Structure 1
Amino acid sequence: MSTFGLKKDQPSSTEQHPTRIIIALDLDAFYVAASRKRDPSLNGLPVAIKQKTICATTSYEARAKGVQKLMRIRDAVAKCPELIFVDGEDLSYFRKISTEIFKIVSSMVRDGLVEKLGMDELFCDVTSMVEDRYNEEIAGICPPVKPFGNVLPQRTKHRLEQKKGDLDEFDPLTRKLFIASNLAQTIRERVAEEVGLTSSAGIATSKCLAKLIGNLHKPNQQTVLAPCDPAFATQDTQELIDPFPIRKVNGFGSVTTARMCEVASSTTGVPENTVTPESMTILVARTLFDHTALSEMFGERIATRLHALLHGIDDEPVIKAPDFPAQISIEDSYFGLPFEKVPEQFVKLGDSLLRRLELELMSHPDPRQESEEEKVRKQEAEAEMVEVPLDIFGNPRSTWLRYPLSLRLTTRQGYTNRISRQTRMPVEIFDISVPRIERAKVLMHSCEALFRAVIQFEGNKGMGIHLINLAAIDLSVHRPNQSIGGFFKQPVQARTPVVESRQIIEEPIPETNQIDMAFLMELPEDVRREVAQEYGIELPTEANQSAGSQYEPLSQSSILSTQSSASTMLCSHCGLSMSSWLQHDHERWPDTGLPHKHKDEDMDDLDWDDEDDDVMSI
């Protein structure tokens, strides 16, 4: 496929460019298109991606019938009874397609200067690639290229018609943007060919302008903003962007827009229908708010950026997406989820989290999708004669490139602030030979222990859970060691064939069976506590043991009944009830040698002067 002489791997001809050349790539109705890729029977039909009670996004056929994004399902059905709903709760498949596209585009752009915005938008800085191609045109090495796709402003379009293909008289910047439009088309063709999804693109001198201009002609089209006369460049650009709602501009979020509408609505002489978040345009905002007015509302720093954006000025660079994210999280919201139903949500969210971890932190056998780090790792393995893991067919097997060492749980009750706790990530989740659902249950046990700690500090204990977030954090290149709890699993029965040196042998598969509780209780106290923490096991108090009580499932009653007041909490290691401000020192007793016989009555006799707000760290 032609690349119009653009050499990705060639060193940049200049280190700094006064004017950037940016391509904004936007996948057309991404979620619907990806669903149709998986199920071609949806082609040509009105489709909506459903998340809970709303249509997260819709196909162009559905939009033609009045079904818009974020519309309630019952309202959407009223407008389009034949509307087909696709479940969008599990985003794993969409993330996989998005990752494939990102890798393709990154492989085509020098230095991988590609920034992701959500799953379906990319910004590409192609300045140095275009600069080198332009220098070759000036040197006569290759002929000038005409712009591809839609051309704006109209002044440039008319001059192209007048010149009839003679590009030598155009401004250098204009010709560079023409070159970039051809590169954008090449990228779009490659994505369509390898993934099967169409996209639209905007080409301009900034991220803001490229994104706005790309929205003018969709789907499966592209537009280049290439002013041909420097004397009219500012005027032409302003006229093009003025009709856009300010909410279409990155930087004008919902809070900022609402505040501007509130102030504008109190201004005399301003029509009410022009000061809503949906109707306030760049022209209206630029007319009503100068730099001084914006500074009074948002402060000097923010006002300077907002004022520049309203005038089509955006100096924000394209920030190259990292090879691995700082954290990977899964979140869901609820309408007062009862405590007893929380564990099953832990399994559901844990399964989704594992899917993301495997997608984003593991190598892929397909050589076309190998990252630079994967290639280096493979070369080092070959140099050290390290055998590459193979599957039962002798093909390269996926391996972990990063290991999250910690698991963080965040919950919210009612409309209060979120509360978070974290613990070590169970090492068992990295064994991909174990079914994912079983590894999700291992995560559930860790989450249950964290959840008990979180609930003890919640103010609205009578309310259900309104939000749960699971996050894998603290990524490391080193695989964590097996914890001591791994030595106390019950015997493993399942076996599977694995290829090693091209000979099939039998190798046991670890399973996440329950811990033998009778054996666990016979272990030394410090070892018992470590194993219990690792597997999210709540150890009984001495009173429970004497009564012969069994371990109860997580429930609202079991949590609340053990607390004498809002300031009382349970130790996750031994189950002892105490005031929350005693927890920090209580955890240190095994190290300080405080006699084990001390109970609550001993604590009451201690003279504590410093009541810190120390929070238990699980």
Structure 2
Amino acid sequence: MILSLDFDAFYCAVEEHFDPSLAGTPFIVYQKNIIATVSYPARALGLKKLGYVSEALKQFPDIRLVNGESLAKYRREGRRVYNYVVNNVVNGCPVERLGLEELWIDISGPVEATLKEVKNGVLTILGPNGQINDECPDDGVPVYSSEQLEPFLCHNFLFSIPGHVYPQDHSKDLPDFTNSDQMLRAYIASHIAEYVVDRIKLECGYTVSVGIATNKTLSKMACKLNKPAGLTLMVPGYEQHFLDSVPVRSIPYFKLSLNGDRGLTVKQAKQMFSKEQFMKTAEESGKGQEARERLWDLLHGIDSSAVSAAGQGPPKQLSIEDTYPKDSIKNITGISKALKAIVLSLFEKILDEHAVIDDNCHWIVKPTILRLSMRYSNEFYPSRTSVSTKVPFYLFELPTTSEEKKQYLADRIVDQLLKIFKYPRNGSSNSVTVRMLNVALTGFRSCQ
């Protein structure tokens, strides 16, 4: 079972953590004249992120403004909570960090250990008709009897799911989750999830929404169903029922336009495309074989990707790659625009990598090589081509730079990449098409 944790209005929560007077009030976290995010009371007024601060002030002249241009504080808090969860809450469980405010946790280990304990003990407390027998312990039921989580007394374990379920009309009571091991695993996972979010709230001061499901994608989608501070279990067996009703574009990381219809549901997509037709459409959009198979699986609620625990030591490389439909990028102007988007994404990946930059925004290790890889829509270069250069010194200003300066740095990196861009035979700046671009930093060396 997988937990997907999303910290509610994280930038706002961090500001409230350091300035408690903000709690419960409408306020805006801004960057330049752009609303980066808004508190929940501000959302209740109708304000939304990515709007203009000047327009918001016309509507609500007394609303409080908080400068959020420096992300250092948010990064430090994100890492602090991540380290707390890894070292004190689910020690031994794989934890994958996604950006500053999201986590995936694979709790399969403690779920299996607790399942064994429950089947050997707790279920004997239930009578044949689901009633609780007289020998029910008054002080609660011990769960998490495993090496990964310390045992504790769960006082409401014998009652129900401690949150929401999908589908909404499904029972949340324990007896209705005892008909199979998979159902019981889901029930146990919901109580582990409650334990995790309670610990985070108690020790770190942040509220979290959590989704519980059998894989990463479904848990992430479940997490969004009852924000803020919601706990949502996707009941086993109802995964496809849930997916069929949602738009294809709501599936995380499903980067493929089907039939040009942004409102197309998963059920409609499956009715419209056979697997062969789907694969052809995905191929025409520049997706490789592995990506095509993964997208098809996602339509059917299948996600075999594992929760990747953070590795020890510096990464071998950090990279961002994107693919493009045939003939969508036809000249160097289009390549330049695509490269800037990739470079900005790479900046965020660098800043989120705790093995590269520490909590004080100092480099722990520095890359030495900047690499550009590409694949052309050209018969002379059908395969991947790569070129490299030294990392320009100005990249190392990144951890302390403002959002405006970050755009300038990205432009400079793109200029550097275009200098080493390898044109295909018979190609020119006015006529060159690409299907894939990848920008990577490699050759990391310690700064000590």
Which TM-score band applies after superposition, normalised by the shorter structure? 0.5 to 0.7
Question: For residues 88 and 325 of structure 1, do their structure 2 counterparts lie closer, same or farther at Cα, with a shift above 3 Å needed?
Answer: farther
1:73 shift after superposition: 3.7
**Counterpart in 2 of 1:475?**
444
For the Cα contact (< 8 Å) 1:123–1:318, is it kept in 2? Answer: yes
Matches of 1:450 and 1:217 in 2, distance apart? 41
- Tell me, yes or no, if structure 1 residue 35 matches structure 2 residue 4: no
- Tell me, yes or no, if structure 1 residue 201 matches structure 2 residue 202: no
Matches of 2:251 and 2:371 in 1, distance apart? 33
**Counterpart in 1 of 2:436?**
none
User: Which of 93, 99, 104 does residue 118 from structure 1 map onto?
Assistant: 99
Matches of 1:135 and 1:321 in 2, distance apart? 29
For the Cα contact (< 8 Å) 1:167–1:175, is it kept in 2? Answer: no
**What secondary structure sits across from 2:304 in the alignment?**
coil
1:195 shift after superposition: 1.8
Where do 1:410-421 residues align within 5 Å?
421=389
**What secondary structure sits across from 1:223 in the alignment?**
strand
Q: Mind listing any 5+ residue stretches in structure 1 that lack a counterpart?
A: 1-20, 228-232, 263-274, 330-348, 365-397, 411-418, 430-435, 438-446, 461-469, 480-618
Matches of 2:296 and 2:415 in 1, distance apart? 48
**Counterpart in 2 of 1:406?**
368
User: Which of 45, 54, 57 does residue 37 from structure 2 map onto?
Assistant: 57
- Structure 1 letter corresponding to 2:444: L
For the Cα contact (< 8 Å) 2:388–2:420, is it kept in 1? Answer: no
For the Cα contact (< 8 Å) 1:123–1:207, is it kept in 2? Answer: yes
Cα RMSD (Å): 4.2
CA deviations over 1:253-309 (Å, ceiling 9, x no partner): 3xx2xx3252xxxxxxxxxxxx33xx4443443443342332121135433322322
**What secondary structure sits across from 1:312 in the alignment?**
coil
**Counterpart in 2 of 1:153?**
167
Where do 1:313-462 residues align within 5 Å?
313-323=302-312, 324-326=314-316, 360=355, 402-404=364-366, 406=368, 421-422=389-390
- Structure 1 letter corresponding to 2:273: F
**Counterpart in 1 of 2:280?**
296
User: Which of 295, 300, 305 does residue 294 from structure 2 map onto?
Assistant: 305
Question: For residues 103 and 177 of structure 1, do their structure 2 counterparts lie closer, same or farther at Cα, with a shift above 3 Å needed?
Answer: same
For the Cα contact (< 8 Å) 1:148–1:178, is it kept in 2? Answer: no
Matches of 2:217 and 2:78 in 1, distance apart? 22
What TM-score do the two structures reach when normalised by structure 2?
Answer: 0.63
1:450 shift after superposition: 9.6
1:454 shift after superposition: 7.7
- Structure 2 letter corresponding to 1:59: S
1:69 shift after superposition: 2.9
Determine which structure has greater relative contact order: mean sequence separation of CA pairs < 8 Å that are 6+ residues apart, divided by chain length: 2
- Structure 1 letter corresponding to 2:242: L
**Counterpart in 2 of 1:188?**
197
1:94 shift after superposition: 0.5
1:205 shift after superposition: 0.5
Question: For residues 81 and 189 of structure 1, do their structure 2 counterparts lie closer, same or farther at Cα, with a shift above 3 Å needed?
Answer: same
**Counterpart in 1 of 2:112?**
131
Q: Mind listing any 5+ residue stretches in structure 2 that lack a counterpart?
A: 123-140, 144-156, 284-288, 320-343, 373-386, 401-409, 422-427, 430-438
For the Cα contact (< 8 Å) 1:26–1:200, is it kept in 2? Answer: yes
1:59 shift after superposition: 2.0
What TM-score do the two structures reach when normalised by structure 1?
Answer: 0.47
- Structure 1 letter corresponding to 2:79: T
1:83 shift after superposition: 4.0
Question: For residues 110 and 129 of structure 1, do their structure 2 counterparts lie closer, same or farther at Cα, with a shift above 3 Å needed?
Answer: farther
- Tell me, yes or no, if structure 1 residue 98 matches structure 2 residue 78: yes
Greater Rg by CA: 1
**Counterpart in 1 of 2:234?**
225
Q: How many residues align?
A: 339
Bigger Cα displacement from structure 2, 92-101 vs 282-291: 282-291
Matches of 2:67 and 2:298 in 1, distance apart? 37
Matches of 1:88 and 1:360 in 2, distance apart? 24
CA deviations over 1:551-598 (Å, ceiling 9, x no partner): xxxxxxxxxxxxxxxxxxxxxxxxxxxxxxxxxxxxxxxxxxxxxxxx
CA deviations over 1:473-521 (Å, ceiling 9, x no partner): 5334583xxxxxxxxxxxxxxxxxxxxxxxxxxxxxxxxxxxxxxxxxx
Matches of 1:358 and 1:205 in 2, distance apart? 27
Matches of 1:451 and 1:221 in 2, distance apart? 42
1:472 shift after superposition: 7.7
CA deviations over 1:146-204 (Å, ceiling 9, x no partner): 4221123346416x2xxxx5468431111111111111111111211222111010111
Question: For residues 422 and 48 of structure 1, do their structure 2 counterparts lie closer, same or farther at Cα, with a shift above 3 Å needed?
Answer: farther
Question: For residues 456 and 250 of structure 1, do their structure 2 counterparts lie closer, same or farther at Cα, with a shift above 3 Å needed?
Answer: closer
